[in-house]
A and B are shown apart, each in its own frame.
Chain A
Amino acid sequence: MLCTSLAYKEWAGCHAVRKYDVYADREYYALRNQATLMDASPLYKYDIEGPNAVDLLGRVMVRDFLDWKIGRVGYVCWCDDRGKVLDDGTVTRLGEQQYRVTSAEPALRWLRMNARGLDVQVTDVSRHIAALALQGPLAREILRPVVGSGLDDLKFFRAMPVRFTVSRGTAEGVVTRTGFTGDLGYELWMSNEDALGVFDAVMESGEPLGLIPMGLDVLDVARVEAGFVLGSVDYTPANHAFIEKQKSSPYELGFDWMVRLERDPFVGQEALRKEQETGPSRRLVGLEVDWDEFEAIYEGFGLIPYLETATSREGVPLYRGGRQVGYATSRAWSPLLKQYLALGTIESEQATPGTELHIEVTCEYERHRVRATVRPTPFFNPARKKA
């Protein structure tokens, strides 16, 4: 469990492990074949409580929460007044008047600013609530002894209150059937003090089944396989953008399904209405890089291509017919699919699955272009995820 690679990165002011071994492959295969456990505590978390909690969420988020039952979890994004995405995260309905929002960027100020006139309490619990992500095909078997058999009834994107069985008694918390890997998995929420105990309990239960801890590098590959966009990588949060061009709308990011326009006013509604009529000019799409062409370029130099199990976040141009039509923001080799995958933003006209583009590839300091085909996401979508 020691981070022998000494590879850490800064995540919301914390040191987070990128990979425990020098090579991340062991973690990757554990994720897809057994299970992995990751500390996701640096996520920003806010508790929204009060009679108007649902109104605040409705006002801030592009989704509608009125018909949400207790225990429902949802993926959301929220926009500025001009309908440009500020951040994405999850909302969980924990109680009658109690919700929890997770986000990648600090959001306390934004939430409070929008709470004017509402009877609602917004509390930053980022540093009080820890989060552990248990992901992989054996996640249920591993977690069952720790939280009890009620787990079997927990459906995809649902939450349940639990009592974790730890070495010295129990700890209260919440389990959600969510994750950022596109696989069967759970996220465990508990207070900071209990986190180590829960971590140990889960590891103890899982080790015989092959559970190992996982770092951010593998998560980054898994989320590309699952087709999940990452803020500040695949899009620039609107409040971080220096120019208009850097901002993205929910439609551009493929969040069309979230946006509920016909309801009470919410932030960005007017702009989104307009955009819905005209349609976005750009789209975020999945791409598959043609491996044979890619390999052929390397062969031309007498080389064999090697891609590490990690996602490259360096943007590269995408072309069609010699003209640049967009850029790829995340590129990853999928060890499971044996495909070279990418997420990129391109002109809407080129966004139909099957469209053939070209992606820039640099080999031996020379630039080349390799065919890349627009593909529907997720690239990897196992039945067990929702089963």
Chain B
Amino acid sequence: MALVLGADIEGLAAAATLARAGRSVHVIDARIHAGGVAARLPFADGYSAPGLLNECALIRRSLLVDLGLERHGLSWHPKETAIHVMQDGAPPIRIHGERVDGVESADAEIYRDWRAFLDRIATFVRHVIDSAPPEVDEPGLTDLLELARQGYRLRSLGDKDMMELLRIVTLPAWDWMGEQFSSDALKAGLVAPVLTGTVVGPRAAGTTAMMLMRETTRGVGPVGGLASLVDALVRRCEELGVTFRFGQAPASILIDPQERRVRGVLCGGEELEAELVISALDPARTLLDLVEPGLLPHHVEGELKGWRARGDTAIQLIACSTAPEFGGDNDRDSIDRMFTARSLDDLERAADALKYRALPEEPCLDVRIWRGDRDAPAGGATLVVHVHGVSHGGSVGWDDGARSLLRDRIGMKLEQDCPGIRDSIVGDLLLTPCDLDDQFNLPGGHLHRGEQALDQLWLQRPSIALSQYSTPIAGLFLAGAGSHPGGPYLGGAGVLGARRALNS
């Protein structure tokens, strides 16, 4: 028997992978249904959000392909979702894969060159993202081969691209963008998506690395949002005989202390026996809270204590009776996702608020618009608004004053870019990092169970000793968003972690 802790996308992907290999699998989740933040969330009469995440195009399709989800109702958009960035006194610019519209021709040309560079390095980056990180402590033959393979791929980029990649990988996005483009809106539109999940602004080193990952791996999103991916995964799991237990959080992971081997999980006062336990919960919670203290080596414990998962984003779901028209521009196709930041400085200032645990004075919004019929009545729309720069608030928590202040500031920003929108709002739900923590089992209120930062990626996600999904406890594996590739690279950790467990 294999137990999977957590039924979010990673947990479901892990469960399906295990079941497909013939294991009998039981999934435990404290919430009453599957999907976590990716699940459909009804929040007002007739309105729902098909998942809380706005980054839907980074799903690791290449890893999920084996699961055959398309047979279970999953379909993909034919095209990438365009991003619009609002400007003052000018129509919004539109970033759409290989093209950018609404900027000076010089910028448009540089953008093409820039995309060409990204395309050249894409194979290398994708390979890194879609493979389990190699063991570097005591590397075996396969690890050395894998390292050599990645080294070879890197070298085969050619001196020029390779050196450029090495140069920019630690660069702040602010500098990288500054070297390329002159349009403030374009820079902001390219950087804004990678800030969710970090506690930094564009001036921080590592933001370029996050951009490189995003730009080289992004594809198309599932039709109907992440909720459709969740639905397909659940159906596939059920077909494979996976059983679910909802509404009960695991109390502890049972371990034979002498063998340091997993025995099962204590859940709802019941001892569930298993020879494999795959946790899609965050790494620190799994190993520090659910494993009896004293069984982990100190360096592993120390690394986990240093695991940073500080919430950085608040989400407001807004029900609009009429679909809003941003930027007052109806000529082009309708806007599905838009950013309100005008410049990198706007994003930086919003991120500054995190340092002082204050609310951003001028919040920068990342708005995903879901039009009727599925998630809103015909003609209406559900807005999923992400506000970067909002911290968990620590022990003080969120009082009504702070909540309404944030709501007001979001409303003002929306009104700026879509005058009159406030009159069409018929309901809303504000989810602060505190709420995400409480309602979605996300420690710290972090959407990805661990900050995206250079020292928390790849070999170091969640730490060198744990980055191959295995733990010092035999039979216990980590396969959540806190493992590589993690974060918004949905499905990757679940599949790679489950594969690792199967090979052990």
The chain A residues found within 8 Å of chain B, CB to CB, are 59, 80-81, 113-114, 116-118, 264-267, 270
Contacts and interface: CB of A to CB of B under 8 A. Distances in A.
Contacts of A113: 298, 301-302
Given A117-B292, A270-B260, A80 B298 contact: yes
Contacts of A116: 288, 293-294, 301
A81 B294 contact: no
A267 B260 contact: no
- The 10 A-B pairs at the shortest CB distance, nearest first, are namely A117-B293, A81-B297, A116-B293, A265-B257, A59-B294, A81-B298, A265-B294, A265-B295, A264-B257, A113-B298
Contacts of A80: 298
Contacts of B294: 59, 114, 116-117, 264-267
Interface residues of B, number: 13
Contact of A265 (B258, B298, B301): B258
Nearest to B289: A117
Contacts of B302: 113
A114 B296 CA distance: 10
Contacts of A265: 257-258, 260, 294-295
B332 interface: no
B299 interface: yes
Chain A interface SS verdict (over half)? loop
Contacts of B257: 264-265
Interface in B240-277: 257-258, 260
A264 B293 CA distance: 12
Contacts of B292: 117
B293 A118 contact: yes
A309 to B, nearest CB: 42
Contacts, number: 30
A116 B302 CA distance: 12
Contacts of A267: 294, 298
Interface of B: 257-258, 260, 288, 292-295, 297-299, 301-302
A264 B256 CA distance: 10
A265 B293 CA distance: 10
22 contacts: A80-B298, A81-B297, A81-B298, A81-B299, A113-B298, A113-B301, A113-B302, A114-B293, A114-B294, A114-B298, A116-B288, A116-B293, A116-B294, A116-B301, A117-B293, A118-B293, A265-B258, A265-B294, A265-B295, A266-B294, A267-B294, A270-B260
Given A59-B294, A114-B294, 12 more contacts: A81-B297, A81-B298, A81-B299, A113-B298, A113-B302, A114-B293, A116-B288, A117-B294, A118-B293, A266-B294, A267-B294, A270-B260
Residue of B257, B288, B293, B294 with most chain A CB atoms under a 10 A cut-off:
B294
Nearest to B296: A81
Nearest to A266: B294
A315 to B, nearest CB: 29
A264 B298 CA distance: 17
Contacts of B295: 265
A81 B258 CA distance: 15
Contacts of A81: 297-299
A118 B297 CA distance: 17
Contacts of B258: 265
Nearest to B302: A113
A6 B257 CA distance: 54
Contacts of A114: 293-294, 298
B331 to A, nearest CB: 61
A118 B295 CA distance: 13
Contacts of A264: 257, 294
A202 to B, nearest CB: 42
B257 to A, nearest CB: 5
B307 to A, nearest CB: 15
A170 to B, nearest CB: 42
A117 B287 CA distance: 12
A265 B261 CA distance: 13
A264 B258 CA distance: 7
Nearest to A58: B294
A80 B301 CA distance: 13
A80 B302 CA distance: 13
Contacts of B301: 113, 116
Nearest to A118: B293
Contacts of A266: 294
Contacts of A270: 260
A366 to B, nearest CB: 47
Nearest to B297: A81
A114 B293 CA distance: 8
B167 to A, nearest CB: 34
A116 B293 CA distance: 6
A118 B301 CA distance: 15
Contacts of B297: 81
B151 to A, nearest CB: 28
Contacts of A117: 292-294
A113 B257 CA distance: 19
A59 B298 CA distance: 12
Nearest to B295: A265
Contacts of A59: 294
B466 to A, nearest CB: 15
A151 to B, nearest CB: 39
B166 to A, nearest CB: 31
Nearest to A117: B293
A236 to B, nearest CB: 18
A271 to B, nearest CB: 10
B343 to A, nearest CB: 46
Contacts of B299: 81
A53 B258 CA distance: 21
Nearest to A273: B258
Nearest to B299: A81
A357 to B, nearest CB: 36
A113 B298 CA distance: 8
Contacts of B298: 80-81, 113-114, 267
A237 to B, nearest CB: 15
A123 to B, nearest CB: 20
A118 B257 CA distance: 16
A176 to B, nearest CB: 28
Nearest to B288: A116
A56 to B, nearest CB: 9
A267 B299 CA distance: 12
A51 to B, nearest CB: 15
A116 B257 CA distance: 16
A81 B472 CA distance: 12
B459 to A, nearest CB: 21
A385 to B, nearest CB: 36
A266 B294 CA distance: 7
A50 to B, nearest CB: 15
B266 to A, nearest CB: 15
A114 B294 CA distance: 7
Nearest to A82: B297
Residue of B288, B298, B299, B302 with most chain A CB atoms under a 10 A cut-off:
B298
A67 to B, nearest CB: 20
Contacts of B288: 116
